[in-house]
């Protein structure tokens, strides 16, 4: 039966007739409410931009328990790092997190000759792999760790995989960075001016020039999102 016949013989085929009515109502309501959403696009987009990105949990990457004790803190800053290791597409993010945790929770001698103590846990709160996947590091309620001279109390620490003195952050990493920073900034009420690089606080090459030069645009974007969210 063609659509035309269906319309002409509605009472002979009640099922199809009602189906057409339902489709008609759906189209009508879409044209009314769909348009309303177009007008109010800013809050909708802000909501999407500040929502929690997908994060691989500690449980998912089979994190070990933290060791010893760590201080608790309230987030007031977002600070960006690089791993300073070369990007590697072949290793899964789960394995990278396990390796980083093993390194973190053991003592070692750094290239600088400085002794690194055994840390409580992974030093960073979030890790962004070269593929753009995000994994949960140390629980954000705990202060992170550093080998450099600054106090990371109050800092949400985000690390991107790579050595950005020589490599480039992948476009997927850049997208994930913006997502997680927007989510953190909105939920922890961090202003755009408090989104900075590790080397804004300590003498280090971290997070590398190629990542650092992206931060002014990131701050601007987060500023726009924060301002739009205040109008909600
Ligand atoms: Zn760093």
Q: Are 167 and 87 in contact (CB under 8 A)?
A: yes
Q: Angle formed by the axes of helices 41-50 and 171-188, to 10°?
A: 100
pLDDT tens figures, 97-150:
999 999 999 999 988 888 999 999 999 999 999 999 999 999 999 999 999 999
Q: Are 128 and 122 in contact (CB under 8 A)?
A: no
- Measured in angstroms, how far is the CA atom of residue 198 from the centroid of ligand 1? 5
Q: What integer pLDDT is reported at residue 57 of this predicted model?
A: 98
Banded model confidence at residue 35, pLDDT cuts 50, 70, 90: very low
Q: Are 127 and 159 in contact (CB under 8 A)?
A: yes
Domain boundary assignment for the chain: 3-39, 77-230
- Measured in angstroms, how far is the CA atom of residue 70 from the centroid of ligand 1? 19
Q: What integer pLDDT is reported at residue 36 of this predicted model?
A: 46
- Measured in angstroms, how far is the CA atom of residue 127 from the centroid of ligand 1? 12
> Residue 211 pLDDT > 80, yes or no?
yes
- Measured in angstroms, how far is the CA atom of residue 46 from the centroid of ligand 1? 29
- Measured in angstroms, how far is the CA atom of residue 37 from the centroid of ligand 1? 42
| Mean pLDDT score across all residues of the chain | 89
- Measured in angstroms, how far is the CA atom of residue 90 from the centroid of ligand 1? 24
How many C-beta atoms lie closer than 10 Å to residue 74's C-beta?
9
Q: Give the global pTM.
A: 0.81
Banded model confidence at residue 37, pLDDT cuts 50, 70, 90: very low
Closest CA to 98 of 132, 71, 59, 70: 59
Level-2 CATH architecture, domain 77-230: 3-Layer(aba) Sandwich (3.40)
């Amino acid at each position: 039966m063609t659509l035309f016949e269906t319309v002409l013989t509605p009472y002979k085929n009640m099922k199809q007739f009602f189906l057409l009515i339902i489709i008609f109502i759906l189209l009508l309501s879409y044209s009314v409410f769909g348009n309303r959403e177009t007008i109010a696009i800013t809050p909708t987009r802000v909501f999407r931009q500040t929502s929690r990105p997908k994060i691989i949990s500690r449980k998912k990457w089979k994190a070990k328990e933290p060791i010893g004790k760590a201080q608790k803190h309230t987030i007031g800053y977002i600070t960006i790092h690089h791993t300073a290791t070369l990007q590697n597409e072949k290793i899964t993010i789960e394995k990278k997190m396990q390796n980083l945790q093993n390194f973190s929770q053991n003592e070692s001698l750094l290239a600088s000759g400085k002794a690194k103590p055994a840390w409580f846990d992974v030093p960073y709160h979030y890790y962004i792999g070269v593929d753009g996947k995000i994994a949960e590091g140390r629980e954000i309620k705990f202060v992170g760790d550093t080998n450099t001279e600054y106090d990371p109390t109050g800092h949400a620490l985000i690390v991107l995989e790579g050595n950005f003195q020589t490599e480039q952050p992948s476009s997927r990493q850049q997208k994930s960075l913006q997502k997680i920073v927007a989510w953190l900034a909105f939920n922890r009420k961090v202003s755009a001016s408090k989104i900075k690089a590790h080397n804004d606080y300590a003498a280090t090459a971290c997070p590398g020039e190629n990542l650092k030069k992206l931060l002014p645009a990131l701050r601007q974007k987060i500023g726009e999102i924060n301002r739009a969210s205040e109008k909600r």
